[in-house]
Amino acid sequence: MSTDGRVLRGEQTRATVLAHAMGIASVEGLAGLSIGRLASELEVSKSGVFARFGSKEELQLATVAAAREIFVERVVRPALESPPGLDRLWRLCDGWLAYSRGRVFPGGCFFFATAAEYDARPGRVRDAVAAALSAWGALLERTAEDARQLGHLESTCDSRQLAFELDAMVSAANARSVLHDDDTAYDLAETAVRTRLRTLATDPTTLP
């Protein structure tokens, strides 16, 4: 199939549309997406974009799915190169901070932006964003629990509580950095994560 020019162009159009849509959504929100706007800004036919996505909501859902793939590629997969344990937990947090700081999406974390936008608006878009954030929270918690069971963290450590706190720190850094154009928030978050993990680690020297 990939040698068929038409299909390739179709896939390229889809990728181009989604890349542009993710950028818009991270800055202005998912509500700012429309098939007409994307077609106009990308100078492609509106009917072509419509044929590929069908509706504004489908476009929004496809944009969330594409952002999730990028997040996994940038944050999750590199951390999973470490075996289960404390180092993997550290790398998840550190990778998240690098992902936000590096503006993989121009408006900072895609999910932070779109969750705040859709959190109080029930529907499929909110469900998709909530599912992505739940998966991230569950991964953090499972990784913390692995580290505890492996003896890397104190046996009394509450994995759910720790995952909540780590996520709170990195999210706050993203929020502050984007709002105030101030990158020092990432240093505060990194210090907070490191201090928290060192306090709970059975051997703090294993942390960077």
Contact 147, 84 (CB under 8 A): yes
Q: Contact between 188 and its own copies (CB under 8 A)?
A: yes
Structure tokens at 69: 């793939």
Q: Contact between 168 and its own copies (CB under 8 A)?
A: yes
Beta carbon nearer to its own copies, 50 or 164: 164
How many alpha carbons lie under 13 Å from residue 187 in its C-beta half-sphere? 3
Spell out the SS3 assignment of 108-141: CCHHHHHHHHHCCCCCHHHHHHHHHHHHHHHHHH
Q: Contact between 134 and its own copies (CB under 8 A)?
A: yes
Contact 97, 189 (CB under 8 A): yes
Q: How far is the CB of 107 from its own copies (least distance, A)?
A: 4
Contact 53, 35 (CB under 8 A): yes
- Please state, as a whole number, how many other Cβ atoms lie within 10 Å of the Cβ of residue 180: 10
Beta carbon nearer to its own copies, 52 or 101: 101
# binding residues, its own copies (CB under 8 A): 40
Beta carbon nearer to its own copies, 31 or 70: 31
Contact 177, 185 (CB under 8 A): yes
Binder of its own copies out of 30, 67, 113, 200 (CB under 8 A)? 113
d(CA 71, CA 90): 17
Binder of its own copies out of 10, 14, 16, 27 (CB under 8 A)? 27
Beta carbon nearer to its own copies, 24 or 49: 24
Q: Contact between 161 and its own copies (CB under 8 A)?
A: yes
Q: Which residues bind its own copies (CB under 8 A)?
A: 26-29, 31, 106-108, 112-113, 115-117, 119-121, 126, 129-130, 133-134, 160-161, 164-165, 167-169, 171-172, 175-176, 178-180, 185, 188-189, 191-192
